Amino acid sequence: MATHSCYLVKWGHWLRLIGAGTAVSTITVMTVRAFVAARRDEGMSDHTIMKEFTALRCALRHARDAGLWEGDLAALKPADLSSDYLPKKRALSLAEARALLAQLKPKRRAAVALMLGTGSEVGAAERTERVDYERTSGLVHVRGSKTNDRDRFVPVVLPECQELIDLAWTLGTGRRGMLLSRWASCWRDLKVACRRAGIPRCSAHDLRRTFAHWHLIAGCSFEDVARAMGHASTAMLFSVYGKIHPAAQRKRMVSSIIPYSLDASGTDALAPHPVDSEVPVDDDAPAAMTVAPSRPQRKR
């Protein structure tokens, strides 16, 4: 499971910095402070360090139950280690995505195209098999493993995503039925490619956020986008992935509203809009990509 592997990585940092031979019974808040200082020196954010501290606390809870540690979990966290976290809002425009792709080697271009086109995580992208997509079906099997919902089929509904997925299947160089090869230097390669493309730095997680952003501004519902991304509810979209520009939010509302307004009588009845009182569309509002033509207006 991806969660198990994630915790192994976090515990690995503890073993590396405090010593694999350190007895569990000797771990104190001073041990944690030394670890935090070392990780900060390595350039890690407090958000990342807090996740690693949580992994240690989980292990010590089990150690305490087994009689191997007698400390106070509540007193283990240093006072200056903050868990405050503001989710990033970085999502690429279509122009930025194309500029980024142009600066990557073909096999890495395939990986980025797949993540942009399907919203898949790095691990899920690397598990993609060539049989996971048949163009006529309009569905891509994303082999996520973090939760049961992450193993999913993503509908291909935007022409830009169709183009990206086709590119991924054209350029992928994986062996033995796999679409992609492993990308251990993903973070570093994306940083370099963004610099060459002249765009703000982005991460693999930003590519996933871009998928959500594009579909939301195109008018897809939060519920449908959440399912496509492998979330059991829309909570993560509202807090992390669905932070769209206010102008784009306005366009979503304008394009979905029916041609009626509340009746001035004070009741909940709907009255037809006057012909000359259409809500204007803000043509100057920023758009991340070209979307499908707007739906035809109803006959009045």
Structural domains in the chain, CATH included, are 2-75 (no CATH), 94-246 (1.10.443.10)
Which strand ranges, in their side-by-side order, compose the sheet holding 151-155? Answer: 133-134, 139-143, 151-155
Residue type, 44: M
* pTM value surpassing 0.85: no
Token pair 């041990």 is at which residue? 31
Model pLDDT, residue 260: 58
Helix runs in 19-158, H state only = 29-41, 46-65, 94-102, 106-118, 122-126
96-119 burial: b if 16+ Cβ within 10 Å, else e: bbebbbebbeeebbbbbbbbbbbb
Write out the chain's pLDDT in tens, 300 residues. Answer: 556 667 788 888 999 998 888 999 999 999 999 999 999 888 787 878 888 998 899 899 999 999 999 988 888 888 888 766 555 678 899 999 999 999 999 999 999 999 999 999 999 999 999 999 999 999 999 999 888 888 999 999 999 999 999 999 999 999 999 999 999 889 899 999 999 999 999 999 899 999 999 998 888 888 999 999 998 888 877 776 666 777 777 877 777 766 555 555 555 555 554 444 343 333 433 344 443 433 444 444
Which H or E run contains 229? helix 222-229
Which residue(s) pair with 154 in the sheet? 140
C-alpha span between 114 and 166 (Å, rounded) = 9
| pLDDT for 272 | 53
Q: Which long-range contacts (C-beta less than 8 Å, at least 24 apart) are formed by 68-77?
A: 68/24, 68/25, 69/24, 69/25, 69/27, 70/25, 71/27, 71/28, 75/29, 76/28, 76/29, 76/32, 77/29, 77/32, 77/53
Which of 211, 288, 226, 293 is closest to 255 using CA atoms?
A: 293
Token pair, residue 166, equals 């086709």
Q: Report the pLDDT value the prediction gives residue 154, as an integer from 0 to 100.
A: 96
Rg of the chain's alpha carbons, rounded to an integer?
A: 24
Please state whether beta strands 139-143 and 133-134 pair in parallel, antiparallel, or not at all (unpaired). antiparallel
Q: Which two tokens stand for residue 19?
A: 């010593």
pLDDT at 252: 74
pLDDT of residue 219: 85
